[in-house]
């Protein structure tokens, strides 16, 4: 619902009344045109989310909220649609059902962190999608340095989506699941990304070690013919690159395998 560039304004929690109002207006904007329609398309899944099931970190900027539910803007947008029949979005807005607001609004909600809501257009705001902050400082060599934000360069933001799925982290999945993270301009601190996805790297390394062929037979032949016979008995002097090439050739000859990645 982030319609304009608001970065320093505090994120507020939804009450039930505000959540229902937001859903009602979101449903209306889906049938209209303009920047609010684009935002409504991004968050149209919220129409089916009841107040008791909203994400823990759902929130809004007061300025953005007021602009999104502005009755004058809605009426003007509806008039424009009626004046241009046949264009996409010229749907009957009178059929929009009014969501029930009979329940007593809750004055206080559980503590929540700032939600990385979409900014103008189809992109996320300039903050870390993991820690939900813009600035982060780290110690490097005893010195305090700023960890700058990095922008996703792949559709799934590297290992981020996979890690979020395994952790069932819906505060992240809500925004990147099955979406183009490059187009969304997903950002994160390098240290946040490293810590968040570290367990996947460890799992991959362990799997590689378990699946890596040991080349035991070739190694025994290499030790006998090269190490013992040529180096120890014949006192030959061979360089490391020569020894490595001999070992690779031995593996290829006796096991017909490529050991070029063997360490």
Determine the pLDDT at residue 187. Answer: 93
Alpha carbon distance 203, 205 (integer Å): 6
Neighbours of 98 (CB within 10 A): 8
pLDDT tens column, 169-225 = 988 998 888 888 988 899 999 999 999 998 887 655 555 555 455 677 888 888 999
Phi, psi of 19 (to 5 degrees): -65, -45
- Residue 45's pLDDT is 77
Confidence at residue 84, expressed as pLDDT on a 0 to 100 scale:
67
Q: What pLDDT sits at residue 190? A: 92
Q: State the pLDDT at residue 163.
A: 92
Nearest CA among 96, 98, 35 for reference residue 70? 35
As given in the structure block, the two tokens for residue 152 are: 């996703």
- CB of 242 within 8 A of CB of 250? no
Range in 16-30, 63-77, 84-98 the model is least confident about: 84-98
Residue 119 clears pLDDT 80, i.e. is over it? no
How many helices (H) and strands (E) in the chain? 9, 6
Distance from C-alpha of 10 to C-alpha of 225, rounded to nearest angstrom: 73
Strand partners, 12: 60
Residues in the chain, overall count = 263
Q: Residues with Cβ < 8 Å from 245, sequence gap 6 or more?
A: none
Does 22 have pLDDT greater than 50? yes
Q: Report d(CA 23, CA 29) in Å as an integer.
A: 10
Chain segment 141-172, per-residue pLDDT in tens: 888 999 999 999 888 888 999 999 999 898 89
Q: How far is CA 58 from CA 70, 107, 201, in A?
A: 20, 16, 30
Ramachandran bin of 75, using left for φ above 0, alpha for ψ from -120 to 50, beta for the remaining angles? alpha
**pLDDT score for 1:** 57
Q: Mean pLDDT over all residues of the chain?
A: 77
Question: Does the pLDDT value for residue 27 go beyond 50?
Answer: yes
What number of other Cβ atoms are within 10 A of residue 255's Cβ?
Answer: 15
Residue given tokens 């039930």 in the structure block: 16
Q: Lowest mean pLDDT: which of 50-54, 100-104, 238-242?
A: 100-104
For the segment 79-114, what is each residue's pLDDT rounded down to a tens digit? 888 876 554 444 444 444 444 444 444 443 433 444
């Amino acid at each position: 619902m982030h319609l304009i560039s608001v970065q320093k304004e505090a994120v507020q929690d939804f009450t039930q009344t505000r959540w229902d109002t937001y859903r009602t207006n979101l449903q209306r904007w889906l049938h209209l045109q303009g920047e609010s329609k684009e935002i409504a398309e991004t968050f149209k899944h919220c129409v089916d989310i009841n107040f008791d099931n909203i994400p823990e970190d759902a929130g809004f900027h007061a300025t953005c909220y007021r602009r999104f539910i502005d009755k004058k803007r809605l009426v003007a947008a509806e008039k424009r649609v009626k004046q241009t029949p046949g264009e996409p979005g010229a749907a009957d807005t009178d059929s929009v059902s009014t969501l029930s607001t009979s329940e007593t609004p809750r004055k206080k909600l559980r503590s929540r962190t700032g939600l990385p809501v979409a900014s103008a257009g189809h992109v996320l705001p300039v903050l870390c999608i993991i820690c939900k902050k813009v600035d982060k400082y780290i110690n490097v060599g005893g010195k305090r340095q700023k960890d700058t934000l990095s922008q996703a360069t792949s559709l799934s933001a590297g290992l981020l989506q996979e890690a979020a799925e395994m952790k069932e982290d819906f505060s992240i999945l809500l925004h990147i699941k099955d979406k183009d993270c490059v187009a969304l301009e997903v950002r994160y601190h390098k240290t946040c990304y490293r810590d968040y996805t570290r367990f996947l790297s460890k799992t991959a390394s362990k799997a590689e070690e378990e699946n890596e062929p040991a080349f035991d037979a070739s190694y025994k032949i290499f030790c006998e013919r090269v190490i013992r016979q040529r180096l120890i008995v014949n006192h030959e002097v061979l360089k490391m690159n020569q020894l490595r090439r001999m070992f690779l050739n031995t593996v290829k000859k006796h096991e017909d395998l490529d050991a070029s990645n063997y360490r």
